[in-house]
Structure 1
Amino acid sequence: MKKIVFLLGLFLLVGISGVSAQTDSTFTCPKQGGTLITAIADNPVSLNGIYANDGVSGAVLSYLFNPLTLGGENWGTNITGDLAESWSVSDDGLTWTFNLHHGVKFSDGKELTAADVVYTFNTIETSAEDIAPFRPRFYQGDKAIKFEAKDDYTVIAHLTEPNASFFTDISVPIIPNKALDGQDLRTGEFNRKPVGTGPFKVTDWTTGESITLEANENYFKGRPCIDKIIFRIIPDLQAQVNALLTGELDFLLNVPGASVDQFKTNTDFTLDIAEYDSLFGVFFNNNRDQFKDKRVRQALMIAIDRKALVDTVRQGYGAVHNSHFDQAVPFYKDDKLGGYDYDPKRAGELLDAVGIKDTDGDGIRDLDNKPWVIHLLSFQEGFRDYFSVSTVVQAYWKDIGIDVELETRDLSTMISQLYQERKLDKPFDVVISGWSQIGPEPNSYANFYTSSPELGPNLENYDNSEVDELFAKARTLTDTTERMKIYEQIEKILWDELPTIPLYR
């Protein structure tokens, strides 16, 4: 059987086609049955669709659940309905009505109703545990949006003010009514044995080894073409490539750029290369005094040769990214923003102007009469390209006289310490991180750059009241052109202040 390799964003994927379920009545499976074996880098944080939001969990969750609507974070770039067959909004923009597909069944055979949708949304709003980043999108100010089940197939949402991004804000996996009652959100049984409406269902999860999915015979879009998907848990990316080459895997997403040539010349594989909705970057802890002057962040930006970094880490299979929004948003242009070309001399001059200088001639710049040390945090070696990016960034910053200490942590530790709690006291100076599949709706990026007393700080502790107000204003505008102008204002502010350094996609 011929394998498929895919390079997305640019990004490599190797695998076989025919994984998806039928999407309309005219589609016919090229072949029915069989097992697809692929790999993920770690155990998912959870298979609870409204709790987990990391890339590893998402790779599995997308086969298990459906959202009410598509086009929001993790759910593609096509803004349309999924479990919602049709929808309408009142003239004043305050009442949304969603009509569900009839006959949709969960993997346990029970029919989906409006009560399941309302339960999902209410759980996100009221859980004692923080469900980042979904919860902020279900609030207007300090008020949770009210949802009601008018009947078994009709969900009504009552807003306090118009929200142009509401349709994609609610793109979250729908879980069964009362599924989490009596369970701890982080450790309950549902996290390992979820029930969803997606094309597959979980039949086995052997920690540290594999997760097995089997076709959901009840899937409302039609039975999947294949019978089973097995996710082998292989932490190291090169080990995943080796497993593919030896026939242990059928399909692999995001192959390292260094491995491209061996797949290009191997007729047993099909290699696909495509752009991908993603962004990798440097995230500052903006609450730390050393980063509060934007000139410091700007200096650290131009100290990095981003094009050379892409060539080194991705062997050119990537693109330097010039925005804090992904290229999926309507207003993104590669050549619109600039001013941060690689310039180590200017970087040093900016740091000198701030007063961060080498005062004792030891080659290390000093801050507050002590050698300036930046603690750089990264995911463990072998998980995506994060560690490789970190070592390159470390070298560039050392070149301008900064002592950079690199530390790595495993995926589960990073998720729990950095992403699941919205608090100021974060355990890093700088972290190399990224995201993917945030989607075309610009408001989906508000979670990264806004904060509020009710919901707490964002990942990088960036606090700018003007940015908060502009995001809030844009949500209330119904004219798309005017909305995009507001988001471009935000884009310009972020590009000047650099709460994070966009590297590449």
Structure 2
Amino acid sequence: MTMPISGTLSLIAFSLSLGVSTTALAAPKSEIVLAIGGEPDEGYDPLLGWGRYGHPLFQSTLLTRDAQMRTQPELAKTWYLSEDRLTWTIELRPDAKFSDGSPLTARDVAFTFNHAKTAGGELDLGVLELAKAIDDTTVKITLSQPWITFSDFLFTLGIVPADSYGPEYARNPVGSGPYEMVSWTEGEQLIVKKNPYYFGKQSPFERITFLFTGEDTSLAAAHAGQVDVVSVPATAADAPPAGFKQIAVDSVDNRGMSFPMLPDEGKTTPTGNPIGNDVTSDLVIRQAINLGVDREQIVEVALLGHGTPAYGPADGLPWSNPEAALSFDPQAAQALLDGAGWAVGSDGIRSKDGIRASFPLIFPASDSTRQAIVVTTAEQLKAIGIEAVPQGKSWDDIERLMHANPVLFGWGSHSPQEVYSLYQSSVGGQGYYNPGFFSDPKVDAHFVSAQAAESLEASYPHWQAAEWDGQTGYSGKGLAGWAWLVNLDHIYYVNECIDLGPTQIEPHGHGWPITSLIQNWTWTCD
């Protein structure tokens, strides 16, 4: 996950750095300004996770997806998986070059995959045995076991140059993507220009400036006509400035409450962070919360209607199970709590064995949308006798507290691998994945079957069974490792002279998914 930047650049500073209002002139322009989210804390290195929630921009991937999410070749000309599902053989296009003019070969692809496995970033390539260049345009990628979601890396892992990759790469990337870096002022802005060696469709925009500003500053810049595209929270989504149009993009970008699954026994992580919570470790509490939240109301109140209820981490995608959805039923929630001995006290909050049904509900303090979701959820939970206390924290604090307190996280991916990472026992406590240490052998067994399937399509029933197999699963009907609440619409204010073209269903917002098809953007005003 990335850590949002709350920029405080003044509009005067914008004017000085950009020189002219972006909407003042309707003439064709070759430079545009975007304020579409925070900068990645780890920089622009695909080996550390850059690009996994969208296209990496500076780099190319082996495969890509069009606006209808259909597979398209990018660096790869052909690709196939062996019958034993252990070897990918990929033939590359011969004309690809990096932005420094050097050729991109199979050696660079092999280097990228092999080093991504050991880079220590957000990518899990544990099943990769070896990537090997057979010749300049052929690479073989061998796995230690069948792992159907490994195919996701063909779409998301940007290829880096073997000869020049080094410790400073994240802040000075060289790639074969549509753009190359001009300058990066951390915490303020990134300037990129078109890569003259890019082999694909060229964008009409020669230069793009990305502003790393907070929500209020970005909106003020839009009203002043100093940006061309700005992402906006739901709370500000219905009043586009003059000269802008509102674009709503469907997404699988969800928000959900993580639950610490273990009781507080004084245990800590290797870095000393506390583990466990005596309230949320009770299954009845977790199930009652899932029954007692009115997701429709959260969408209307916190998102002003710009979203949909969420019941799992991949709603609407073919590997999710619609049978896992729960209806809002506060009476059933209260009956569960009553039956388990969680008695209502004089203050309306339940307790059991001297433990109050109370906990902090943490959210990133810089995110107004998550704050609205948390406040609305907390109000609803009071009705069933559970006290969730909203607490806005920095990402550093969240990382320290997330194994012992519920946190409102955001996820959403084009791959079922994310479901695996959120619920697989062995991933518990690793980074931001599975922060509550969810663990269940039946769910793990379904994951094993899914990963061993002969195709991604054949794996779908196994992912669905992991969510709910009729008796148990990770969903709110089963072990309730999370309370998934909403799926967000992604809202943008876009200069009325810019046509974004068809857009993809977007994943989680980190990584600027709106730029995935940036080559198709056009300026429509004369």
- Whole-angstrom CA distance in 1 between matches of 2:246 and 2:212: 22
The residue number in structure 2 matching 1:68 is: 62
Deviation at 1:321, TM superposition (A): 2.2
Whether the 8 Å CA contact 2:279–2:358 is kept in 1: the answer is no
Whether the 8 Å CA contact 1:205–1:211 is kept in 2: the answer is yes
Shift of the 212–413 alpha-carbon distance from structure 1 to 2, 3 Å rule, reads: farther
Shift of the 463–169 alpha-carbon distance from structure 1 to 2, 3 Å rule, reads: farther
Are 1:285 and 2:285 counterparts?
no
Give the letter aligned to residue 121 of structure 1: F
The residue number in structure 1 matching 2:189 is: 210
Are 1:376 and 2:361 counterparts?
yes
Unaligned runs of at least 5 residues, structure 1: 1-30, 184-188, 419-424
**1:32-91 CA deviation, whole Å, 9 max, x = no partner?**
751111114434212233355489x957x632122223369xx99333432212112333
The residue number in structure 2 matching 1:115 is: 107
The residue number in structure 1 matching 2:474 is: 494
The residue number in structure 2 matching 1:154 is: 138
The residue number in structure 2 matching 1:433 is: 409
Whether the 8 Å CA contact 2:321–2:465 is kept in 1: the answer is no
The residue number in structure 2 matching 1:19 is: none
The residue number in structure 2 matching 1:239 is: 217
Are 1:257 and 2:242 counterparts?
no
Deviation at 1:281, TM superposition (A): 1.2
Shift of the 218–446 alpha-carbon distance from structure 1 to 2, 3 Å rule, reads: same
| CA root-mean-square deviation | 3.1
Pairs within 5 Å for 1:48-447: 48-53=44-49, 62-70=56-64, 77-127=69-119, 129=120, 131-132=121-122, 134-135=123-124, 138-140=125-127, 144-170=128-154, 171-177=156-162, 179-181=164-166, 183=167, 189-235=168-214, 237-253=215-231, 255-263=232-240, 268-287=243-262, 288=276, 289-327=278-316, 329-332=317-320, 336-341=323-328, 343-359=329-345, 361-381=346-366, 383=367, 385-411=369-395, 414=398, 417=399, 426-436=402-412, 438-439=413-414, 441-447=415-421
- Whole-angstrom CA distance in 2 between matches of 1:243 and 1:314: 22
Are 1:37 and 2:24 counterparts?
no
- Whole-angstrom CA distance in 2 between matches of 1:376 and 1:224: 43
Give the letter aligned to residue 70 of structure 1: T
Q: How many residues align?
A: 439
Give the letter aligned to residue 66 of structure 1: S
Give the letter aligned to residue 251 of structure 2: Y
Whether the 8 Å CA contact 2:364–2:370 is kept in 1: the answer is yes
Shift of the 256–193 alpha-carbon distance from structure 1 to 2, 3 Å rule, reads: same
Give the letter aligned to residue 494 of structure 1: Y
Moved more, 489-498 or 310-319: 489-498
Moved more, 99-108 or 402-411: 402-411
Deviation at 1:454, TM superposition (A): 11
- Whole-angstrom CA distance in 1 between matches of 2:192 and 2:294: 43
Give the letter aligned to residue 299 of structure 1: A
2:425 corresponds, among 419, 435, 451, to 451
Give the letter aligned to residue 274 of structure 1: V
- Whole-angstrom CA distance in 2 between matches of 1:454 and 1:393: 26
**1:362-405 CA deviation, whole Å, 9 max, x = no partner?**
33322441433312111123x36112111112222233333333
Whether the 8 Å CA contact 1:322–1:502 is kept in 2: the answer is yes
Whether the 8 Å CA contact 1:295–1:351 is kept in 2: the answer is yes
Q: How much identity, in percent, do the aligned residues show?
A: 24
Shift of the 339–277 alpha-carbon distance from structure 1 to 2, 3 Å rule, reads: closer
For the residue of structure 2 that corresponds to 1:123, the secondary structure is helix
Shift of the 362–193 alpha-carbon distance from structure 1 to 2, 3 Å rule, reads: same
- Whole-angstrom CA distance in 2 between matches of 1:332 and 1:90: 27
- Whole-angstrom CA distance in 1 between matches of 2:129 and 2:365: 39
Unaligned runs of at least 5 residues, structure 2: 1-26, 263-275, 488-526
For the residue of structure 2 that corresponds to 1:282, the secondary structure is strand
For the residue of structure 2 that corresponds to 1:324, the secondary structure is coil
Give the letter aligned to residue 140 of structure 2: I
- Whole-angstrom CA distance in 1 between matches of 2:441 and 2:68: 30
Deviation at 1:97, TM superposition (A): 0.7
- Whole-angstrom CA distance in 1 between matches of 2:90 and 2:197: 22
The residue number in structure 2 matching 1:3 is: none
Whether the 8 Å CA contact 2:403–2:429 is kept in 1: the answer is no
- Whole-angstrom CA distance in 1 between matches of 2:283 and 2:355: 21
Shift of the 322–455 alpha-carbon distance from structure 1 to 2, 3 Å rule, reads: closer
Question: TM (normalized to structure 1)?
Answer: 0.78
Deviation at 1:447, TM superposition (A): 1.2
Whether the 8 Å CA contact 1:325–1:491 is kept in 2: the answer is no
- Whole-angstrom CA distance in 1 between matches of 2:403 and 2:435: 11
Deviation at 1:333, TM superposition (A): 7.1
Shift of the 120–239 alpha-carbon distance from structure 1 to 2, 3 Å rule, reads: same
Deviation at 1:116, TM superposition (A): 1.5
Shift of the 43–487 alpha-carbon distance from structure 1 to 2, 3 Å rule, reads: closer
- Whole-angstrom CA distance in 2 between matches of 1:241 and 1:180: 37
Shift of the 40–324 alpha-carbon distance from structure 1 to 2, 3 Å rule, reads: closer
Deviation at 1:251, TM superposition (A): 0.8
Give the letter aligned to residue 221 of structure 1: G
Shift of the 113–332 alpha-carbon distance from structure 1 to 2, 3 Å rule, reads: same
Give the letter aligned to residue 170 of structure 2: N
- Whole-angstrom CA distance in 2 between matches of 1:241 and 1:261: 12
